[in-house]
């Protein structure tokens, strides 16, 4: 029986089909697995490139009450070259198909529903790749999902149950979680698979980090580059990544996530990628710190070059203010008081009394009395001289105060000017001889009393 690949090339001339290349399908390869047995299957020439126009089948069977589990290790095909797998032994029955795969991502683990399974690989006439590598394992019904990852061992528990015995350093129902134990103040590095090369497609990887009681965990990111929105890293508190309430953030793209501090002594991380684009991934460090420690988030520091401004010393030269007060000269013509002499036709008679001295003024006697105007003139002259040579306001103030004092003193002296009339004995009252009273002026100048008599 001949089977033609779906993409054989030929030229149709009338009713005649002339294929350029026809490859007949060989008989299926039969593989019998003992209970818990394992066999390995790969594409032709793997890890070299397979050929064009292939159509190859495998039929895998195992004992009753066991199932067949396919686990893939590598997968790279041209887009139109496919691997398919299904239940039973008839690959022509599309209703039994469980898997149809091509491209560069690794297919998920696939299990049969019974004790038989078929696999088929086809390639077209254009381009080839390295192909695939997988294992087929006979598993008990309770371990059909086998999903004991990271070399964990599946242990059946009844018909439907199973447990995974994980190697040291892995935890989880399927040994899918990498466990990292941090001693106090210890630090470890965690990266995406193959970092700094690109990570693989269809990843679902988890880490749990735990440290001593009364310590916390701080994550610091050094690099981050994933396909935005589709490939992402999740971080949360505790050990259960399925509890969304513990999640701190989900991050994707090319910007660095912030430093993150746990609320307790454990944190979980989960990295997921889809089947399309692949990037370098991430690199981070996890450090154990005491619970009272404060995480210091690096701060962006902006350094502004110091601006040097040279201002020459501002020098203000004010010429010495010289105020010249011209001496004020007040000229008060001397006040001359002339008292006409009293003339009596009676010859002058002088009576000498021991207590009374009578002086008769001659007609030509003239008395000059210093007046306030004259005193003011002298003071003005003094002030003019002082003010003209004074360079400070303090001296001027003293002079003004002195001026006020002298003026008040002069006014007081003038108000005290008196004319004393000498006692005239009653015996002389009948005579007509009169004496001009003696005029006495008391003047205090410069603190000394002086008496001026007018004779």
pLDDT in tens, the chain (455 residues): 334 343 333 333 333 333 334 344 568 899 999 988 999 999 999 999 999 999 999 999 999 878 899 999 999 999 999 999 999 999 889 899 999 999 999 999 998 988 999 999 999 998 899 999 999 999 876 665 556 888 888 877 655 567 888 998 998 888 889 999 999 889 999 999 999 999 998 888 999 999 999 999 999 999 999 999 999 999 999 999 889 899 999 999 999 999 999 999 999 999 999 988 889 999 999 999 998 644 454 444 444 444 444 444 444 444 444 444 444 444 444 434 444 444 444 444 444 444 434 444 444 444 444 554 555 555 555 545 544 554 556 677 888 888 888 888 777 666 555 445 445 444 444 444 444 444 444 444 444 444 444 44
pLDDT in tens, 341-380: 444 444 444 444 444 344 444 444 444 445 545 555 555 5
Give alpha helix (H) positions in 37-167.
Answer: none
- Are residue 18 and residue 87 in the same domain, yes or no? yes
User: Chain centroid to CA 429: how far?
Assistant: 118
Domain range spanning residue 363?
326-345+355-418+434-455
- Are residue 359 and residue 270 in the same domain, yes or no? no
CA distance 362 to 364: 5
What separation in angstroms does the CA of 152 have from each of 145, 243, 270, 448?
Answer: 13, 24, 19, 130
- Are residue 110 and residue 186 in the same domain, yes or no? no
pLDDT in tens, 316-339: 444 444 444 444 444 444 434 444
- Are residue 389 and residue 264 in the same domain, yes or no? no
- Are residue 234 and residue 332 in the same domain, yes or no? no
Please tell me the total count of domains within the chain: 3
Element (H, E) at 399: helix 393-415
- Are residue 194 and residue 134 in the same domain, yes or no? no
At which of 290, 316, 334 does a domain end? 290
- Indicate the Cα dihedral angle 109, 113, 118, 122, nearest 10°: -50
Q: For residue 401, what are the β-bridge partners?
A: none
Provide the 10 A C-beta neighbour count for residue 242: 9
For residue 190, give the DSSP letter.
E
- Which tokens hold the place of 406? 């002298």
Overall pTM surpassing 0.85 (yes/no):
no
CA distance 209 to 199: 21
Residue 304 lies in a domain: no
- Which tokens hold the place of 226? 């994933």
């Amino acid at each position: 029986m001949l089977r033609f690949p779906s993409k054989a090339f030929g030229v149709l001339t009338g009713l005649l089909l002339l294929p350029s290349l026809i490859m007949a399908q060989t008989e299926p390869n039969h593989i019998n697995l003992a209970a818990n047995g394992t066999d390995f299957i790969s594409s032709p020439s793997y890890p070299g490139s397979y050929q064009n126009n292939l159509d190859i089948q495998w039929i895998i069977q195992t004992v009753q009450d066991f199932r067949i589990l396919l686990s893939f290790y590598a997968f790279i095909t041209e887009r139109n070259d496919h691997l398919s797998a299904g239940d039973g032994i008839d690959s022509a029955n599309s209703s039994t198909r469980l898997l149809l795969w091509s491209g560069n991502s690794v297919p998920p683990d696939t299990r049969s529903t019974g004790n038989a399974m078929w696999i088929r690989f086809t390639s077209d006439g254009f381009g080839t790749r390295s192909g695939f590598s997988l294992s087929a394992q006979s598993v008990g019904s309770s371990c059909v999902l086998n999903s004991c990852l990271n070399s964990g061992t599946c242990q059946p528990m009844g018909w439907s149950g199973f447990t995974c015995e994980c190697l040291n350093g892995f935890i989880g129902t399927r040994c899918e979680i990498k466990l990292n134990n941090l001693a106090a103040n210890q630090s470890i590095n965690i990266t995406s698979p193959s970092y700094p090369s690109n990570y693989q497609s269809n990843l679902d990887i988890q880490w749990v980090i735990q440290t001593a009681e009364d310590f916390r965990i701080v994550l610091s990111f050094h690099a981050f580059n994933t396909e935005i929105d589709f490939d992402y890293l999740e971080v949360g508190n505790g050990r259960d990544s399925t509890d969304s309430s513990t999640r701190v953030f989900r991050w994707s793209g090319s910007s660095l996530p912030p430093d993150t501090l746990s609320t307790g002594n454990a944190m979980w991380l989960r990295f997921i990628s889809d089947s399309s684009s692949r990037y370098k991934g991430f690199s981070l460090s996890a450090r154990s710190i005491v619970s009272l420690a404060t995480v210091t988030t690096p701060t962006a520091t902006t350094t502004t070059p110091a601006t040097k401004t040279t201002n020459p010393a501002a020098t203000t030269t004010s010429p010495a203010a010289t105020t010249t007060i011209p001496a004020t000269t007040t000229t008060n013509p001397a006040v001359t008081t002339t008292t006409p002499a009293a003339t009596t036709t009676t010859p002058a008679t002088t009576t000498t009394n021991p207590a009374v001295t009578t002086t008769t003024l001659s007609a030509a006697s003239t008395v000059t009395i210093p007046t306030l105007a004259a005193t003011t003139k002298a003071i003005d002259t003094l002030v003019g001289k002082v003010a003209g040579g004074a360079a400070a306001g303090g001296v001027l103030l003293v002079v003004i105060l002195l001026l006020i004092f002298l003026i008040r003193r002069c006014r007081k002296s003038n108000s005290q000017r008196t004319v004393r009339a000498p006692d005239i004995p009653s015996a002389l009252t009948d005579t007509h001889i009169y004496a001009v009273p003696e005029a006495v002026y008391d003047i205090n100048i410069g603190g000394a009393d002086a008496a001026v008599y007018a004779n």
